[in-house]
Structure 1
């Protein structure tokens, strides 16, 4: 059955002119095996989005850029794919993956969600965020419990509750953006509008002095991590061509430059 399905998928892909290929590498702590995945996304003749999970292969040895390049080419060849069909390969931000794409001469872009997590300097911050939300939801119950136990050390002060609420509000836009860009239906054209909206939300937040340094760091890191976003033709052109956005998120000078690109 696998062979029949694979041949059917290969037949469909042979008629696809352009496609994108997400790929990732990870290791299983329990078995110490490493794996590499390959997925394909494309638009059919009716402009409907299609996708197929092609491979999850064991990837032994050192994951150097050259080794990754060889593996990617082998996986694509097993499905009859030519790299000239690949518009972009979406990858993680590891230097070895970036090099693997360069060596194999496949255009690629890194994971913006990972970059966004690095703005907060903690890739597991969302677990703490959910804990804070639950804590705030149970504020009255926790205070009552503390009073019943007659132990003030088990409760937060009013000032501490306010700081916790402010921190949760500061992180809320990051959570919403992370979820928005993580949907199966999300696409590259949404990155620039989403990041610009996040900038705007942060700028409008009034934060008290205990957390002002956090906000300043978030804003600074956001600018630094995404400073080249609008000079990247893949992101700018996809946003410009998206009928939902068009020129809304670009200054006039950038809009003129994008229009001239298509002349």
Structure 2
């Protein structure tokens, strides 16, 4: 079980591994909740969790619900599920490609023949990629690479008289169109899987962009199987994304990103509801936190302290100023901050939104508090899943007797000392 933590520190996205350990109990929601809470308590963050991102498995979702933490599904996992499901319409063609790839991986003779053919044709020497059943984009990469080596692959298979059915011309056309349709999904999957910069605020725009670009293919594709693929993808996105603008996490992060604000929304009502929640949250940061001794702010330096006579002269003004401060309405101040923030020009899309907030923190102190609890949220659980890849790099055939406790420490150091 792997638990990562993501937060804004000095106006930069930061992340770390909290724990990665052997989970030998039954994976019930109660057991998972107990372990999650144990990790959070060890780091004293159980009351600081603003959102918990995981895959869509029922047990982990219920575990997070038991802990009363806000849950958000991993978008990469959601995309993986519906794209892999849509690819079933062209399963016979994909299975043929898998058989060809597996043949080249099994046969040294075939591999050498393919390499020599690629060299003769002036192509890069690429060994066909195999798919990983848990990652849809591995299937995409397998199809794309065999398309790039089409002439060398067909020539090599013909020369060595390989077993199995070759791909027909129509099937090659299906692969070409399918890769064109799936390319945007691969781009989005790569973009949302990062953890070193703000991502969650892009989700509304990326999801709607995927819907639009996929819908455009309905009038462009000519092969029957790819038409079915496009229809299946559109139907899945309609089910998964139809009320995405009303998702409180995604709508608030988009609104608080100075690159997007209201432009991330098509539905004005969803945008207004997000603004109301943000304003209410900003109002809760109404007064500065008193410091020990009942003073607010920093103590005056020797040069700043007034002489008794001067203090008496200023006493009447100070009384009025103090009274004016106490009479101020946090809700009204929050509304003014939000209104002023919306009137700011949009920040450039390629820039880091946290750098914008760093320059504006003194102007929008309440909104800055809210921003730090929204833009820190990651869009996927990929950072946590990467930990398992690190574990696989540590445990090898020649290093396979490491006990779970030692492995836990090695993975922790490997992930955090960089």
TM-score, normalized by the shorter chain, greater than 0.5: yes
Distance 2:194 2:59 in 1: 26
Q: TM-score, normalised by structure 2?
A: 0.50
1:40 aligns with 2:13: no
1:191-236 CA distance string (max 9 Å, x none)? 1111111111101221123321111011101111223322111111
Asked if structure 1 preserves the Cα contact closer than 8 Å seen for 2:6 and 2:16, the reply is yes
Matches within 5 A, 1:150-229: 155-185=166-196, 186-205=198-217, 206-208=220-222, 209-229=224-244
Alpha-carbon distance between aligned partners in 2 of 1:195 and 1:61, rounded to the nearest angstrom:
37
Per the alignment, residue 24 of structure 1 pairs with none
> Residues 56 and 77 of structure 2 are in contact (CA less than 8 Å); yes or no, is this contact kept in structure 1?
yes
> Mean Cα displacement is larger for which, 230-239 or 204-213?
204-213
* Residue matched to 1:230: 245
* SS of equivalent residue, structure 1 residue 93: coil
SS at match of 1:61: coil
Cα 1:136/1:66, change in 2 over 3 Å:
same
Question: 2:148 aligned with 1:137, yes or no?
Answer: yes
Q: Give the secondary structure class of the aligned counterpart of 1:161.
A: helix
> CA shift at 1:143, angstroms?
4.0
Q: How far apart in 2 are the matches of 1:231 and 1:254? A: 5
Q: Which residue of structure 2 lines up, in the alignment, with residue 87 of structure 1? A: 50
CA distance in 2, matches of 1:214, 1:109: 27
8 Å Cα contact 1:119/1:218 also seen in 2 = yes
Query: How far off is 1:149 after superposition?
Result: 6.2
In terms of Rg, which structure is larger? 2
8 A contact 2:76–2:189 mirrored in 1: yes
CA contact (8 A) 1:119 1:225 kept: no
Structure 1 residue 160, shift from structure 2 partner? 2.4
Matching residue of 1:7: none
Map of 1:51 onto structure 2: 15
Contact 1:113 1:181 survives alignment (8 Å): yes
Q: More strand by proportion, 1 or 2? A: 1
- 3-state SS, counterpart of residue 185 of structure 2: helix
Task: Decide which moves more: 98-107 or 121-130.
Answer: 121-130
Which ranges in structure 2 are unaligned for 5 or more consecutive residues? 86-133, 280-334, 336-418
Greater RCO (Cα-Cα under 8 Å, separation 6 or more): 2
Distance 1:139 1:98, change over 3 A: same
1:73 corresponds to which of 13, 23, 37: 37
Work out the CA distance in 1 between the residues paired with 2:78 and 2:141: 20
Distance 1:215 1:259, change over 3 A: same
Query: 1:146 Cα deviation (Å)?
Result: 5.7
Tell me the matched-pair count.
226
Which residue of 2 is the match for residue 110 of structure 1?
A: 73
2:27 and 2:160 map into 1 onto residues whose CA distance is: 55
Question: Which secondary structure does the structure 2 equivalent of 1:43 belong to?
Answer: strand
User: Normalising to structure 1: TM-score of the pair?
Assistant: 0.77
CA contact (8 A) 1:142 1:155 kept: no
SS at match of 2:4: strand
2:69 & 2:161 partners in 1: Cα distance?
Answer: 65
**Correspondence 1:258 to 2:274:** yes
**Distance change >3 Å, CA 55–CA 200, structure 1 → 2:** same
| Alpha-carbon distance in structure 1 between the residues aligned to 2:135 and 2:46 | 37
Aligned-CA RMSD value: 2.3
